[in-house]
Amino acid sequence: MVNERDRERQLAALFGESLIGPWPELSSEHAPKGRLRRARSWLWWTLGVLGLVVAAGLGARALGRSELERRAADDRGERAERLQMALEDGHLEVAAGLLESVGGERAELDPADPHLELVLAAEAVAYRYLDAEPRRRARIEPLLRAATTAPRRLARLTILSRAERAEHLGDLERLRSERPQDPQVHYLIATVRERAGDVALAREAYRRSEDLGPAWLAHRFDQLEFERRQGDAAAVAALAEGMRSRDASSAWSRLAATLAALPALPGEAAAAPPVQVFRARLLDAVGASARGDAAVAGAQLAAAVSAVHGEPPFLIDAFDTLMDHRSPSLARRLTKRAEWPRGSAVAAAQQRRLEEASAEP
């Protein structure tokens, strides 16, 4: 009679395992080595195939991600080229629109970004000539404090007030040697020369900036204001006509035409950027003060300050404008506003200038 152990061995020889796994009772000398070896081979082969499938899937995903990143980089590179051209040509509203897609919206810029210098230049221009947004200045200032490259030095000088910029004429002259075809450099030199009272040199720099960048309407408006202060009505009219022939819908062109007493052109005006509103309200304040209407002058001054969010470079410039237009009372009101940059050495020097002017007989 076959005992239970012999029966188990016979079943193991026939089937190789029990219904619940390998037969624990079998000794190694009686185990079906060929069958177990084939089972293990099949298992490793299956695992190998699965590994290859997983690796292929991961590789495909990595390749897909790499391709998407490459396309995104190429697309951003194309937008950066368009941004560069818009800046060179002076189409600042176009540049500001492209800046959003090239520069991104992060509060901090990436120091390793291959387009960083272009983004810094565009942010500085948008801040100074379009919207005076504090976030722009806060975003770029940390990267401009120890500026060494020409684009960064130019961006740093762009965001300064005229009074602060006047301390860096030597660097501006070096930039002119490095970037002789850049209208922005010549314009900045013109503003420094004008403030120093060097009328001939200021006019030469303004005209050079006009030759190189006629579409920089914010520059042309400052040039027009310069000629208006010099009493050259013919130059004022020529500049205003040139501006509106280039872009009649621009708020800069329409304000220039008003100052030059040119007839208004039909058509809808483009929305005025905050910096242009600042300049217009400041001139309105000067006009109201000259008429003796202190209430309107104060309201227009407040509107000018509000338009540029109380940003210090613009307030320091406003002080100079008010003093140049012989409106010391408005200049004093400006220095008493909460937004006045009292911690600034330049602002303190402006106030001393006001005190000296008041002490004159």
Spans of all domains in the chain? 61-148, 278-361
Q: Answer whether 0.85 is exceeded by the pTM.
A: no
Give the residue ranges of DSSP H helices in 198-250: 199-212, 217-229, 233-246
The tens digit of pLDDT for each residue in 21-54 reads 454 444 445 555 555 556 666 666 776 667 776 6
Predicted pLDDT of residue 229: 92
Residues 224, 201 contacting (CB under 8 angstroms): no
- Least confident window among 6-10, 300-304, 331-335: 6-10
What is the rounded distance in angstroms from the CA atom of residue 148 to the CA atom of residue 154? 10
Residues 279, 243 contacting (CB under 8 angstroms): no
Predicted pLDDT of residue 38: 61
Residues 308, 272 contacting (CB under 8 angstroms): no
Cβ within 8 Å of residue 277, ≥6 positions away: 303, 304, 307
The tens digit of pLDDT for each residue in 261-273 reads 988 777 666 788 9
Q: State which amino acid sits at residue 299.
A: A
**β partners of residue 89:** none
Instruction: Read off the pLDDT of each residue in 184-208 and give the average, rounded to a whole number.
Output: 97
Residue 68 has pLDDT above 50, yes or no: yes
Residue 104 has pLDDT above 60, yes or no: yes
SS3 151: helix
Residue 223 has pLDDT above 80, yes or no: yes
Predicted pLDDT of residue 237: 96
In angstroms, what CA-CA distances link 247 with 93, 253, 278? 12, 7, 20
Confidence of residue 16 (pLDDT cuts 50, 70, 90): low
Higher pLDDT, 70 or 92: 92
Predicted pLDDT of residue 239: 97
Q: Tokens standing for 263?
A: 């007839």
